[in-house]
Amino acid sequence: MVVDENSEWLGVPRILLMENAGANIARAVHSWIGTLRGVDVVVFCGPGNNGGDGMVAARHMASMGAKTTVILLGSPDKIRTNEARMNLQALKSMKESINLIVVEDVNELHKLKPLIERAEAVIDAIFGTGIKGKIREPYRTAIQMINSSKAFKLSVDIPSGVNPDTGEIEDIAVKADMTVTFHRLKKGILASTEYCGEVIVALIGIPPEAEFLMGPGDLQDALIDLSQESKPIGLIKPDVEISQVLSKLDVEFHLSSTVDKPVIYVSGEVLGELSGSSVNLILSEGLRKESTISIIKEDVTSSEPLAEKFKKVRDLAIDNEKIIYLQSNIDVVSDGEKCKASWFSRPLGKTGSAALRAMILYLLSHNVDPFKACCAAGYVAGYVEENGLEKLFAELNYRKSRVGL
């Protein structure tokens, strides 16, 4: 989700990524069988973007001469994304080359058994990485029917039913002959090889920057983890702008001279009160042993290549055992393993700098992972620098809506 969202922000929209994904699936089926002309192919599509990938694949396979059937599991009204809806509309128009069947219950699915039994290739585009909890009907029966088929079975991104992060199978999963996964190998594939068959990693045009830039996908990722309740924040000698941003974010904060709150911001001065204090999280200016996150300002005229900045900040994070956020002409953040950067609206001015600090504090107070908080705040800071603080809340609400919050 993070990479897809950042990719769209960088000018490569999801609809293009979906097109490339579906084309890769069709080519993989063609390569396995040798030809698709006259070949019976069945594509099971779920309501998300995995199903959208399957729809694109169906269109490409039909153009290669396959006798293509698409089984949409659930009402078209339940399709969740614009990209999938657009591709479904295209399939509806292809009345001669694609047999589109909408299935909303198990009885309708059982009637299609002869169709599935004579297929030479069956495509699993039901869930992919979008699986959550127990598998309901008619998806469960669809997975059973795929597994019982003697056809070549291909799963889109990861076999439906396999947890993409852990490889665990809570209920039931497709057992594929081949899995075509996109952009990068999913962790769950490595832990569930017996379900994945041959694995192909297909590049679909995602810019490399989508992975290492702090973008809107990072903000959405942090907002997903936002707890309902927030911890109070203590501000020790803050810039007044930070207080102004926090007051707009509707979070409890206190101007303080002591470390007595779960989340603390400390300005550039060294304060003896920090020594030996037991607090949950401290965001500090400059390197300071007690802090979890340190923001360091660098000369904005620095011309270091990004790879060198990454190495420098990563080494600082490892040596000091904390997250380092380097604020410069290119901002870089690292936890000692992962690194992210931003050059949008950099170097930050006073408003952007205040938004950076306030947003990290806001997310920490809502129990968001500190590195995720820094990456999300890095995007927010550039957004505020470019668009003004008054546009921040519209952007937050929009990003919440993108992840269903």
Question: pLDDT digit string (tens) for 229-259?
Answer: 999 999 988 788 999 999 988 889 998 777 7
Angle (nearest 5°) at CA 50 between 191 and 30:
85
Per-residue pLDDT, 77: 93
Task: Based on the fold, state whether residues 223 and 86 are members of the same structural domain.
Answer: no
Enter the pTM of the model.
Answer: 0.88
Rounded to a whole number, what is the distance in angstroms from the first to the last CA of the chain?
15
Whether residue 273 is predicted with pLDDT greater than 60 in this model: the reply is no
Task: Based on the fold, state whether residues 167 and 251 are members of the same structural domain.
Answer: no
Q: Of the residues 176, 206, 236, which one is the last residue of a structural domain?
A: 206
The answer to whether 202 touches 21, Cβ cutoff 8 Å, is yes
Please name every residue paired with 227 in a beta bridge, in sequence order, or none if there are none. Answer: none
Domain holding 153: CATH number?
3.40.50.10260
Distance between CA atoms of residues 261 and 238, nearest Å = 15
Task: Based on the fold, state whether residues 224 and 202 are members of the same structural domain.
Answer: no
- Region 373-385: mean pLDDT is 98
Per-residue pLDDT, 282: 85
Task: Based on the fold, state whether residues 158 and 119 are members of the same structural domain.
Answer: yes
Q: Of the residues 175, 206, 237, which one is the last residue of a structural domain?
A: 206
**Tokens standing for residue 374:** 């820094």
Whether residue 79 is predicted with pLDDT greater than 60 in this model: the reply is yes
Looking at the chain, the whole-number percentage of residues with pLDDT higher than 90 is 79
Whether residue 277 is predicted with pLDDT greater than 70 in this model: the reply is no
Domain holding 292: CATH number?
3.40.1190.20
Question: pLDDT digit string (tens) for 339-354?
Answer: 999 999 999 999 999 9
- Region 366-385: mean pLDDT is 97
> Each residue of 80-98: b (16+ CB within 10 Å) or e?
ebebbeebbeebeebeebb
**4: in domain:** no
Task: Based on the fold, state whether residues 177 and 290 are members of the same structural domain.
Answer: no
**2: in domain:** no
The answer to whether 120 touches 43, Cβ cutoff 8 Å, is no
Task: Based on the fold, state whether residues 146 and 246 are members of the same structural domain.
Answer: no
Task: Based on the fold, state whether residues 197 and 310 are members of the same structural domain.
Answer: no
Q: Which residue has the higher pLDDT, 290 or 11?
A: 11
**5: in domain:** no
Give the chain's domain count.
2
Task: Based on the fold, state whether residues 183 and 287 are members of the same structural domain.
Answer: no
Q: Of the residues 151, 177, 206, which one is the last residue of a structural domain?
A: 206
Whether residue 133 is predicted with pLDDT greater than 90 in this model: the reply is no
Left (φ > 0), alpha (ψ -120 to 50) or beta: where does 74 sit? left
Domain span at residue 86? Answer: 10-206
Question: pLDDT digit string (tens) for 158-202?
Answer: 999 999 889 999 889 999 999 999 999 988 999 999 999 999 999
Q: Which of 141-155, 244-258, 261-275 has the lowest mean pLDDT?
A: 261-275
